[in-house]
Structure 1
Amino acid sequence: MYVILDIETTGGKYNEEGVTEIAIHKFDGHTVVDQFISLVNPEKDIQPFVVNLTGINNNMLKTAPKFYEVAKRIVEITEDAVIVAHNAQFDYRILRTEFRRLGYNFERKTLCTVELSKQLLPDQDSYSLGKLVRSLGIPVSDRHRANGDALATLKLFKLLLSKDLDKTIIKNVLRTETQGELSPRQLDMVDLLPSETGVYYMHNKDGDIILLGKSSNIKKRVNQHFTNNSPKARKLQKETKKVTFEKTGNELAALLKENAELIRNKPKYNPFYKKRLFSHGIYQSFNEQGYAVLTAETIKPKKRPFATFNSLQAAENFLHRIREEFQLCNKLNGLSKAKKQCSHYDENNCLGACVQKESADQYNKRVNQAIEQYSFNNKSILIMDKGREIGERCGIAIKDGTFIGMGYFNLNYQINNMHILETIITPMDGNDNTTHIITSYLRKKKVLKILELK
């Protein structure tokens, strides 16, 4: 559990500042579950430059509660949570100073979004909150007010969590927690998991991921792990001390995230990860008469297929599908053993390429259309699908035919060129496996939209 907070102060000498406003959003890694926002009477004057910066003046605070009147609420909302702030050292020092004045020792774990941003968002021009969030396309209002800055920090932290493919944030938090053997309470955490699409992570006592997977129903899948009676499952149950998850909003994003994180984390209880996720492909060649020939074959290391499949049957089924869609010829594509024309020519469903009644140029144009539709080639596109919440979309980016990463966008955020896109998405490695995952998915299921990028 995290508490994203921001504090405005009077300014003045070190350790003599007073709190003038505080905003706290309790965040479970996915949604805000509680919040506390309040002006605070610091019982001292605000420095003029702070008034100009924040717009908070002494008159506004005359009837505001004093710090001791909000102290209990701050303790309660931050209990058993990690404080997240932009320049956390400052906010945490101010809080501890105020509590010390009350004779109370306030101690919490902290995470600083400045430091996290330097690790996960290198090469930014500035790491000040205002400039950083603007460069990332994160909307911010009421700048230099506690709640405006806290909300901007929350959105930044969500982005950092999504970019943290190695899960260093969660690992570092879990590593500091005292954990015993798996308890009924920890088993009951299944009830807190969503029945939604995403990736789940099962952690050991050190926070390391020992198993991960994708599911269209995270709660149901994790429950299966906990109720399985196999020897391997019982070992997994004993070692699991925490289950975390990331909602992806759609299955394609979950598949890509699972693929990337299996390679990075190599979890102990995941089955051996294949170097290649496909076994067969569709290859293009030309016969002596110049007609394009598409054949389903076992993968050949030195030849590049335009589509990949998990079996010969799946590849041949695809050839049958595009024959109907583009009026291609089963005899040319090796699906018909007819000595002369294919049966579809007799049925007027083939234009006669098999007996050279149709010119090679005309036929090959339709073959190229099929290849263009079902492969990336050198395309730069953005595949848009459902996001994790209402008003959000997931974007999966392809640049020059290669998958480069994915991210989440508000509906009102304009994605119109590759440069803007590359600053927002989480970079991910593209290879033959990611191409297979995406093209296989697009052959079977619909997405919301595919945009061509400049």
Structure 2
Amino acid sequence: MYAILDIETTGGKFNEEGITEIAIYKYDGHTVVDQFISLINPERDIQPFVVKLTGINSNMLKNAPKFYEVAKRIIEITQDCIIVAHNSEFDYRILRTEFKRLGYDYKRQTLCTVELSKDLIPDQPSYSLGKLVRSLGIPVTDRHRANGDALATVKLFKLLQAKDTSKHIIQSSVKDAVNPKKLDSKLIDIVETLPTVTGVYYIHKEGGDIIYIGKSRNIKRRVNQHFTATNTKSKKIQLHVTAVTFEETGSELIALLKESEEIKRVKPIYNRSRKRTHFTHALYAFKDKHGYINLKIDIADGRKHPITTFSNKQSAVHFLERAVDTYKLCLQLTGLETNIPDKPCFNHNIKTCNGSCVNEEPVQDYNIRVQELLDKNSYAHKNMLILDRGRTIEERSAVYIKDGQFEGLGFFNLNYQIHNIKVLESIITKMENNRDAQHIIQSYLRSHKNLKTIELTQ
């Protein structure tokens, strides 16, 4: 029997966090047989970044039960169950901490879906819950709320069960009900010096050499995860770390670009896995014999010039499916349906394709809509700025694209208006234009549709 759960907390110092929301689904290996979902009054302040992430604020929790009022129900629903969670070490530690405050020694076996996913679904670009379930086609709602994340974990765990055909990987991954790891005082001191801001962090060993570079929207929390994780890489980092430095960026896009370039430049020993390219598939365009612009998803090829790139095939297919609906494109001319001469696509039969598959729609009309899609998702030959948040309220970050090439990035004050490229280039820090940088920018633009862009003139 499994208790699949997710917990939202107040944030704050290690082992001083409080629970703000909990969702538990009791799962017998086939179906959910019981559930418990509740907001919880943590009786302590909620960190501002947590309020922004989850939407849970103190006013929402005024009339919520306190932990001691739901403790008995949690014990009952998890009795004789293995705790399953995405990063179970965190959720289990938080539960044990809350019970310890009540004088109760709460012990359960645990199972982590992050570790299981790495074993059963290798080579995913990310194992964060949101990105992982999206890449696997698992629907998720109410992201960063306990019920939404717990339900997504239930669906993920069912998939992992099906993948475990030998029926021994899950069983061998169960951890005994032992006390969770306590942070070494050296690691606690390092974590305490770090801020809860977006940026790039550098983990140093004795002598100052950098052994790992990462990025996060919350540097303190991410480094704390490195220091509490039990995988081989994290244990080595914990053993050798003597200091952590950071650079605040404000913008996640800036952090992604800086992280990518810094890893290539420094080549830290524990970033070896990041040498693999971030993307596997790309979108290409070509004209058929009738003059229609066709779109095709294919394995990324450095010798070709893609419209945009994707971390995996599933995300590429999802992108094209949305494009077909948005721009009324033909299923056959986008490669989502086999092209059979003189036979209309499925969408033509339901009147959502204008007939380009059977040469009924004027080529020019169809190509205009395809070109709109291409222009929106490619910055080829463009001079443009991508604007995002800065490190302070008055500041903005800027990513500079010149003639379709990534030139660099910088920060400017809101009161300072950039009028032309010459002025702009004086405040931009040059960076390398490579395939990884292009992929990062294109992916970020796709997932942040309200991001401001400005086209520039010479």
**TM-score of the pair, normalised by structure 2:** 0.57
> Could you tell me which amino acid in structure 2 is paired with residue 243 of structure 1?
V
CA shift at 1:429, angstroms?
A: 0.6
Structure 1 partner of 2:350: 347
CA shift at 1:222, angstroms?
A: 0.4
Structure 1 partner of 2:280: 279
Aligned-partner Cα distance in 1 for 2:339–2:234: 53
Shift in alpha-carbon separation, 1:228–1:354, aligned structure 2, 3 A: same
Matches within 5 A, 1:74-93: none
List runs of 5+ in structure 2 lacking aligned partners.
1-182
Matches within 5 A, 1:46-445: 184-185=185-186, 187-274=188-275, 276-337=277-338, 339=340, 340-445=343-448
3-state SS of paired residue (1:244): strand
Shift in alpha-carbon separation, 1:338–1:426, aligned structure 2, 3 A: closer
Shift in alpha-carbon separation, 1:350–1:225, aligned structure 2, 3 A: same
CA shift at 1:417, angstroms?
A: 1.4
Deviations 1:340-365 (A, max 9, x none): 11121222211111111111122112
Shift in alpha-carbon separation, 1:301–1:449, aligned structure 2, 3 A: closer
Structure 2 partner of 1:451: 454
Structure 2 partner of 1:110: none
Shift in alpha-carbon separation, 1:289–1:451, aligned structure 2, 3 A: same
Shift in alpha-carbon separation, 1:311–1:379, aligned structure 2, 3 A: same
CA shift at 1:248, angstroms?
A: 1.0
> Could you tell me which amino acid in structure 2 is paired with residue 235 of structure 1?
K
Query: How many pairs align?
Result: 273
CA shift at 1:272, angstroms?
A: 3.0
Shift in alpha-carbon separation, 1:352–1:273, aligned structure 2, 3 A: same
3-state SS of paired residue (2:225): helix
Structure having the higher Rg: 1
> Could you tell me which amino acid in structure 2 is paired with residue 391 of structure 1?
E
3-state SS of paired residue (1:385): strand
CA shift at 1:447, angstroms?
A: 4.9
3-state SS of paired residue (1:243): strand
Structure 1 partner of 2:68: none
Aligned-partner Cα distance in 2 for 1:447–1:438: 14
List runs of 5+ in structure 1 lacking aligned partners.
1-181
Shift in alpha-carbon separation, 1:362–1:232, aligned structure 2, 3 A: closer
3-state SS of paired residue (2:227): helix
Deviations 1:243-281 (A, max 9, x none): 111111121111101001000111111133335321111
**TM-score of the pair, normalised by structure 1:** 0.58
Aligned-partner Cα distance in 2 for 1:322–1:370: 7
CA shift at 1:233, angstroms?
A: 2.4
3-state SS of paired residue (1:241): strand
CA shift at 1:232, angstroms?
A: 3.3
> Could you tell me which amino acid in structure 2 is paired with residue 436 of structure 1?
H
3-state SS of paired residue (1:282): strand
Deviations 1:270-296 (A, max 9, x none): 133335321111111222212111011
Shift in alpha-carbon separation, 1:219–1:232, aligned structure 2, 3 A: same
CA shift at 1:400, angstroms?
A: 0.7
CA contact 1:203–1:210 (8 Å) conserved in 2: yes
> Could you tell me which amino acid in structure 2 is paired with residue 432 of structure 1?
R
> Could you tell me which amino acid in structure 2 is paired with residue 365 of structure 1?
I
> Could you tell me which amino acid in structure 2 is paired with residue 423 of structure 1?
S
CA contact 2:445–2:451 (8 Å) conserved in 1: no
Aligned-partner Cα distance in 2 for 1:300–1:266: 24
> Could you tell me which amino acid in structure 2 is paired with residue 264 of structure 1?
R
> Could you tell me which amino acid in structure 1 is paired with residue 439 of structure 2?
H
3-state SS of paired residue (2:334): coil
Deviations 1:310-335 (A, max 9, x none): 22222222111111121111111221
Deviations 1:23-70 (A, max 9, x none): xxxxxxxxxxxxxxxxxxxxxxxxxxxxxxxxxxxxxxxxxxxxxxxx
Aligned-partner Cα distance in 2 for 1:238–1:369: 53
CA contact 2:401–2:407 (8 Å) conserved in 1: yes
Runs of 4+ in 1 over 4 A off after TM superposition: none
Deviations 1:119-143 (A, max 9, x none): xxxxxxxxxxxxxxxxxxxxxxxxx
What is the alpha-carbon root mean square deviation over aligned residues?
Answer: 1.8
